[in-house]
Structure 1
Amino acid sequence: MTDTQYIIKTKQLIDSLKNVCANYGLGNDGNEFKIITQVFLYKFLNDKFTYTSKLNNEALAKADDFYEALHAMKEDDFEFLLMANGENELHFKPDYLISYLYQNQNQDNFSKLFDNTLKAISSENVERFSVKSSSGAKDLMFDELSQFISDSTQRDDFCRALINKLFEFSFEDMFGQKYDFFATIFEYLIKDYNTDSGGKYAEYYTPHAVARIMAAIMVNEPVNNVTCYDPSAGSGTLLMNIAHAIGEDKCSIFSEDISQKSSNMLRLNLILNNLSLSIPNIVKTNTILNPQHRDEKFDYIVSNPPFKLDFSDYRKDLDSKINNERFFAGLPNVPKAKKESMAIYLLFIQHIMYSLSAKGKAAIVVPTGFITAQSGIEKKIREAMVSRNMLRGVVSMPSNIFASTGTNVSVLFLDSAHPDDKVILVDASKLGDTVKEGKNQRTVLTPTEEQKIIDAFNLLKTEDDFAVQVSHAEIKDKNYSFSAGQYFDVKIDYIDITADEFREKMGNFESSLNCLFFEASKLDEQILANLKRLYHV
């Protein structure tokens, strides 16, 4: 089976799970998201455990019935198998398998067996697979999913329907082929919950083109044993791209996000991308008010922070000695109206600068207005980036690069170990093709255009009206503007002509002007005549 066929099969599985939810009255219900993502996660982990166990135990690989062979193993042999499978794998007992539930689906109170199975998996893997909050509480992998069915008489049938869908298809061969398409699957899995139609569950996520550009510019040489951090991680698009660029086995992921839903989605994304060892580093918290990684300094930081968010309730709590170094440029004021328009992203930028290691690099999505603001916190931050020699460059992206917001964005690139005062500024605003996505229009960059932006940075290419290299002194002269357009040369095309050609051109201009003057005179006479007629009426 090809990777395309696996993608089709997996999407069909996701769609069939959604159909089950719809058939039991949970279509477009807020709990549908939990059911779909958690059941899919259970399926993925079940098949991954089965595949890895067969890989590490010849008897299991040859067995006609995997469940029976696993169930018959001696306790010591089973413990050895779990050790051989490695830290990345979930610990499954035989009775936790989908095949066991499938064979026992006709027993009374099957929904209780189903829920208890998922609860037991969560409990036994709590240390390695739970998302923690700032209070220390741990958010388990699975809820009691049958409880989302309000009619208790339908719960057994609902759980049977889910198990039957899971039993129809296996991921095992997919793991053997090492297909790398889980980003595609993950995006399809959550697409209904990351769009405007998702209502209160809708969240902005960074387009893959922007994420790829950020990662390719930041990781332009081999690195090993590094830390990657996103203080507003969402579902993890930026973190996954930076991890892929570095190598999943060469980095550790750290994240913070105020949203429980996003943190759970990120956990799923880490599991799908073979980064489950980093799950204990996911924290559900208010990064600005209560950062849990305050004492850490990171080698790579990526962020698409919220641009507008009301933080007036806790703004006063940020004005303390402990935060003076972190928020060196100050705290945004609370507007008299529209508190939700508070520029919270300015706090995230300062937090990121504070969190960078001595060799750290960062890429931050900001509103394009930030790069040219003439005063205030914005300018103070830009001045600090220049004076600390952290600014590596800026890319101004095309409008509508985000389908869900019309805000024009730019990406700041910082480097704590930047070797000189040269800064590359790129104006990519004219690139891309406009496509329609639902009710919105979105600008899509081609692979060639993505590479053009990446090369401008990494190869220090300059190009008229696209990329320019400037010094700190030039930036200061422009009031610390980071806009490429303000540094482009104004070019005037000169044409060599003879004296006779010049006189001929000037004669033509004079003749044209005389004609225009004559026409204007005639119009003046006509207007005066019309006024006199009106006067005598």
Structure 2
Amino acid sequence: MIELTSQEKINSVLWQAADTFRGKIDSSTYKDYILTMLFIKYLSDSYKEKVEEYSKRYNGDDQRIQRALSRERFVLDETSTFDHLYSKRNDPEIGEIINKALERVENENTGKLRGVFRNIDFNSEAILGKAKERNAMLRSLLEDFNQLSLRPSQLGNEDIVGNAYQYMIGLFASDAGKKGGEFYTPAEVSELLASLVKPQENDRIYDPTCGSGSLLLKVAKQVPSKKVAIYGQERNGATHSLALMNMYLHGIDDAKIEWGDTLANPLHLDDGKLMKFQVIVANPPFSLDKWAMGFAGEGNDKKFKMEPGLDPFRRFDWGVPPSSKGDYAFVQHMLYSLAESGRMATILPHGVLFRGASEGKIRQQIIDMNLLDAVIGLPENLFYGVGIPVCIMVFKKDRKLKDVLFIDASGEEHFQKGKNQNKLREQDIEKIVDTYERREIINKYSYVATIDEIKENDYNLNIPRYVDTFEEEKPVDMVSVKENIVNIKRELQGIEEQMEEYLKELGL
């Protein structure tokens, strides 16, 4: 009987591998090495199992074996396998040997794994230190992973490696604080966004700041047949590589994840115009400073001022966000990328709801065009490295309703308090989604405001203007207070008399 590799076993090996690096380099950096090695081990073990299967089936006929292998999801040559790397673990050039193996994997699988390893260097002195310590770390890493079998027949559940990957990404994000949090949206918040946008079969799903791709995967999972097209873009090179691996480990070979600055250089285009998507989700960097620098020409950085005409896609005709706060730059990019009858949900800091100047003008334009569907206030401290409460803004094209739903889910009764991180429970997510779908008015929780009401509030969307969560203190019952005072005085008198008796007995 085949012994299954449990989720716990994978997770424990990953943590052992993390111990190899801890204290030597920052976890926001070493996560890339561990997650890349997990990916290589998975490819290698899967491939090895297929080679054995076809060797048996075709009685060792090499030509037929190679033909069958060429039809698999990916191909590997012997010198690109984990086993080959492990056999070379004591080689003084082990970093370069791993790099070359990764390069071969990419070259042999250009369609599916193109660019997946280009941002990782196992021979980097700057990151991993001088040869002696670098080689010691890499040897230890290979020895850690050698304990693990990731053969499909031993995994049982096809998603077990994907789950381990997600699990580790979450742990690295919490471990790495703000820096790590950039590439990860907590699973429950992803779940909530996915439930709000309701993806359908054949939808194009897009995340313009996709990080490690976890949010896109949650949304795609909502469609049981998995017949959706996934698109993403990520500016950070190492995180872009994580997203490609993450998709592949979850069985999604055709995700189109691009590497680049979404605002200055959007890469998902149709005939030179922004591609349109039925579903858009995002957790963009909050209030990104210098968001428009990619539009500046050479040499004029300090004097540079963003103008709508500098963007060939005319995304900022409704207003140019302030240079120090890119929130509405991402919102406008997404709205311009939204297909007719498209749905969009994005996580943003509360400032976008009420800040004035150019942001106020953009907000007014969005409301006047009837694109805003709902504003949902979430609890504080849900995100790694971000203590502030955040909100979700939900947008829809072709809205028939002339109102906006406001939900205040920030109260203590609407989440689970954690030591380092607060968490949305299943019932909290269900209540938000249910209230959103019914557009229900619930005392101290939700309110449906007409567009006219919002105009009367000068287009200010601050949630307390619409949802009153103020709890009045109970009026003081003066009669009962008076009675209490009388009772206390009576008790006090009795104690004083008792005290006198004791003193007399003691002759004092």
List per-residue Cα deviations over 1:156-204 (Å, max 9, x = no partner).
Answer: 6655544443332212246762354556422443356424646866636
Change (3 A) 1:30 1:183: closer
1:370 aligns with 2:348: no
Rounded to whole Å, the distance in 2 between the matches of 1:113 and 1:93 is 14
Helix, strand or coil at the partner of 1:246: coil
How far did residue 396 of structure 1 move? 0.7
How far did residue 354 of structure 1 move? 0.9
Select between 307-316 and 253-262 the one with higher mean Cα deviation.
Answer: 307-316
How far did residue 95 of structure 1 move? 4.0
Equivalence for 1:428: 409
One of 334, 341, 355 as aligned partner of 1:359: 341
Contact 2:209 2:283 in 1 (8 A): yes
Equivalence for 1:79: 67
List per-residue Cα deviations over 1:186-241 (Å, max 9, x = no partner).
Answer: 2443356424646866636322221111101111xx62222111111122232121
1:382 aligns with 2:363: yes
Equivalence for 1:134: none
Rounded to whole Å, the distance in 1 between the matches of 2:464 and 2:91 is 71
1:216 aligns with 2:198: no
One of 468, 486, 492 as aligned partner of 2:465: 486
Equivalence for 2:113: 129
Q: How does 1:129-528 map to 2 (within 5 A)?
A: 129-131=113-115, 140=118, 143-145=121-123, 150-152=129-131, 159-173=138-152, 177-181=156-160, 184-191=163-170, 193-195=172-174, 197=176, 203=182, 205-219=184-198, 223-247=200-224, 249-278=226-255, 281-294=256-269, 295-311=274-290, 313-314=293-294, 316=304, 318-321=306-309, 323=311, 325-334=314-323, 342-373=324-355, 375-430=356-411, 431-437=414-420, 442-488=421-467
* 1:98 aligned partner, one-letter code: F
Contact 1:33 1:193 in 2 (8 A): yes
Equivalence for 1:43: 41
1:34 aligns with 2:32: yes
Rounded to whole Å, the distance in 2 between the matches of 1:139 and 1:318 is 34
TM-score (norm 1): 0.74
* 1:8 aligned partner, one-letter code: E
Rounded to whole Å, the distance in 2 between the matches of 1:388 and 1:2 is 60
List per-residue Cα deviations over 1:129-168 (Å, max 9, x = no partner).
Answer: 134xxxxxx8637634486665546776655544443332
Report the aligned-residue RMSD.
3.9
Change (3 A) 1:176 1:29: closer
Equivalence for 2:17: 17
Change (3 A) 1:473 1:29: closer
Count of residue pairs brought into register by the alignment: 461
TM-score (norm 2): 0.78
Contact 1:231 1:287 in 2 (8 A): yes
How far did residue 468 of structure 1 move? 2.2
Contact 1:305 1:348 in 2 (8 A): yes
Change (3 A) 1:319 1:4: farther
Helix, strand or coil at the partner of 1:81: helix
Helix, strand or coil at the partner of 2:344: strand
Rounded to whole Å, the distance in 2 between the matches of 1:17 and 1:492 is 51
Contact 1:48 1:175 in 2 (8 A): no
Select between 151-160 and 266-275 the one with higher mean Cα deviation.
Answer: 151-160
* 1:177 aligned partner, one-letter code: G
Rounded to whole Å, the distance in 1 between the matches of 2:365 and 2:262 is 22
Rounded to whole Å, the distance in 1 between the matches of 2:431 and 2:388 is 23
Rounded to whole Å, the distance in 2 between the matches of 1:299 and 1:122 is 31
How far did residue 476 of structure 1 move? 2.5
How far did residue 305 of structure 1 move? 1.3
Aligned sequence identity (%): 23
Change (3 A) 1:333 1:457: closer
List per-residue Cα deviations over 1:331-384 (Å, max 9, x = no partner).
Answer: 2345xxxxxxx11111111111111111211111111232234x3233333323
Helix, strand or coil at the partner of 1:463: coil
More helix by share: 1
Helix, strand or coil at the partner of 1:411: strand
Rounded to whole Å, the distance in 2 between the matches of 1:159 and 1:490 is 55
List per-residue Cα deviations over 1:432-491 (Å, max 9, x = no partner).
Answer: 132112xxxx32222111111111112333311112233323332333343454335899
